[in-house]
Structure 1
Amino acid sequence: MNLKLAIQKSGRLHEDSIKLLNDCGIAVKSGNNQLRAVAENFPLEVYFLRDDDIPQYVEDGVAHIGIVGENVLFEKDKEAEIVEMLGFGKCRLSIAVKKTDAYSSPSFLEGKKIATSYPVLTQRFLDDNHIKAEIHEISGSVELAPGIGLADAVCDLVSSGSTLFMNGLQEVQSILKSQAVLVRNKSLNDEQQKILDQLVFRIRAVRKAKNNKYVLLNAPNSSLQQIIDLLPGMKSPTVLPLANGEWSSVHSVLPEDEFWEKIEALRKAGAQGILVVPIEKMII
């Protein structure tokens, strides 16, 4: 039996989804406009779909699981349960107005026209702030709407903000932070859930590895305890004696977001010969 996974056929999440599967040791070939592929070495069948359709396919059970952006999942409001945050495809859904507009609060939008591809999320934001505004649903090129007089503001996905800037707009209010998530149908049987658990185990091992670095260094024994205190590791650092009896070799794992700060502190404590090695998989 194969677990059926729906991923984006093309677009910003497609390549990262395929890479994640490959990093998990699951070989899936995509290309030539194919709509379906079977993994060579894992009980997984992959469907390549429009991202907007993925929540519906998962809710209906046509696909058992899917990889989709939170923005699409919440906009479609389907019965698909989030299993795992995947950490890629990060963006935000934001309100943007003309650069010349003085936006100070959501009340600026009262009575205005807002162009968006996300009418459900936009309306929810307006309702939460007790704002009455007119929503114009547009399927693409939303940022053009204020410049051609179709709308006073837009609610659109933002990554760098460069597209808004080039169209004379300024981002003024973020209403949703989004990233790719793994979702599941709520009625998986025991066998399907078992395969999903195996997949999630691999995904977590890959993600944990990417967020950490393996560090090896030489430490003078006179500063060994100070250096150990800086390197908690997964449990505790590994300490091995060197041929020079006054020095030890210390091995540990550092989180990516603490890396440079810790390295500088280690140098000040007397560590030398610091080597940093990427981790391919990390099982805890």
Structure 2
Amino acid sequence: MSKLKIAVQKSGRLHDDSMKILKEIGISIDNGKDQLKASARNFPLEVFYLRNGDIPQYLRDGVVDAAIIGENVLIEKGEDITIVERLGFSKCRVSIAVPKSSNAENLKDLEGKRIATSYPNTVEQYLEKAEVKANLHIINGSVEIAPNIGLADAICDIVSSGSTLFKNGLKEIQMLLKSEAVLATSPAISAESQALIDKIQFRLKSVLRGRSNKYVLLNAPNDKLDDICKILPGMNSPTILPLAKEGWSSLHSVINKNDFWEVIDELKANGAEGILVCPIENMVL
């Protein structure tokens, strides 16, 4: 059987998060320091460590079958590349920022100004829709320094926490798009490789569902079970087991982590006691 070739960013937070999720779906990678390619011990897969900006072309040319890549890079360089799964990590945004001393407060204020960016296609399309004309300076590397050295009046770059902008005396005035890590496939992927991607995608969905949900166990009086079941429907319905204590039952279910505290408050208000909440490693449907 041929091996599936998957690209990941060679270093940085996206690299670390990508390797972490591959491990969580049961794929063990033998990667040494400074390797450009590594094989999995327990799955027909090779990982290629590449520059993020080069990955769309490798996908397009069929050099790799798939990639874990930032959505922002595909918007800039690979709109023809198919996204098969959103992975929910390495979240960021592409935004325009100006020096804190600048009078610019919105996109219209950048009419005729100079914008330094590593995302010229993204910026150009956004400006065109907003009917703003500005001069773009394409920079690969530390874009944030451009206003400080007089190269540009504004920048457009990825923003995560905003700490880099703060350190460089910049303020964010316009978000162009939000981004996260995605699994993308090559237009030239073979049927054999696609079958392997389907297996990986099944595992990813199980891990991602586990990350977004929590397992909850609680005790409740039997006369409150109907109300509590309405709060906790679970995947199909909650599991209910009788307790040794007369008139009480134990209820097991799943809750979305985003609704966690609101659900806990409702459960307590409806008579639930001894509530235990546990993380879920995988959630297979």
TM range (shorter): over 0.9
Offset of residue 133 of structure 1: 0.7
* Secondary structure in structure 2 of the residue aligned to 1:170: strand
Query: Where do residues 178-193 of structure 1 align in structure 2 (5 Å cutoff)?
Result: 178-193=179-194
Structure 1 stretch 240-249 or stretch 183-192: which is displaced more?
A: 183-192
Partners of 1:56 and 1:78 within 8 A in 2: no
2:198 paired residue number: 197
**What is the root-mean-square deviation in Å for CA atoms of aligned residues?**
1.2
Q: Secondary structure at the match of 2:255?
A: strand
- How far is 1:161 from its partner? 1.1
Whole-Å separation in 1 of the counterparts to 2:106 and 2:171 = 14
Unaligned ranges ≥5, structure 2: none
Letter matched to residue 200 of structure 1:
Q
Partner SS for 1:68: strand
Specify the alignment match of 1:65 in structure 2. Answer: 66
Q: CA deviation at 1:131?
A: 1.3
1:87 partner amino acid? G
Q: Matched residue pairs, number?
A: 284
Which residue in the other structure is 2:7 paired with? 6
User: Using the alignment, how far apart are the partners of 1:194 and 1:239 within structure 2?
Assistant: 39
Distance 2:226 2:42 in 1: 46
Match of 1:219? Answer: 220
Whole-Å separation in 2 of the counterparts to 1:77 and 1:244: 61
Counterpart mapping for 1:50-61 below 5 A: 50-61=51-62
Pairing 1:253–2:248 present: no
On the 8 A contact 2:31/2:39 being kept in 1, the answer is: no
1:111 is matched with: 112
Is the 1:35–1:47 contact (alpha carbons within 8 Å) kept by the matching residues of 2? yes
Runs of 4+ residues over 4 Å off in structure 1? none
Kindly report which structure 2 residues correspond to 1:29-68, keeping only aligned pairs within 5 A, or say none.
Answer: 29-68=30-69
Matches within 5 A, 1:119-268: 119-268=120-269
1:129 counterpart letter in structure 2: A
Instruction: Note the C-alpha offset of 1:77.
Output: 2.9
1:166-224 CA distances to partner (integer Å, 9 max, x unpaired)?
22211010001011111101232221111110010000000000110110000011211
Q: Does structure 1 retain, via aligned residues, the 8 Å contact 2:61–2:188?
A: no
Deviates more, 1:95-104 or 1:13-22: 95-104
TM-score in terms of structure 2 length: 0.96
Paired letter, 1:162: S
CA shift in 2, pair 1:78/1:60, >3 Å: farther
Q: CA deviation at 1:134?
A: 0.6
User: 1: CA distance between counterparts of 2:267 and 2:70?
Assistant: 39
Matched, 1:16 2:32: no
Q: SS of the residue aligned with 1:148?
A: coil
Q: Provide the identity percentage.
A: 55
Output the TM-score relative to the length of structure 1.
0.97
1:165 partner SS = helix
Contact 1:59 1:78 in 2 (8 A): no
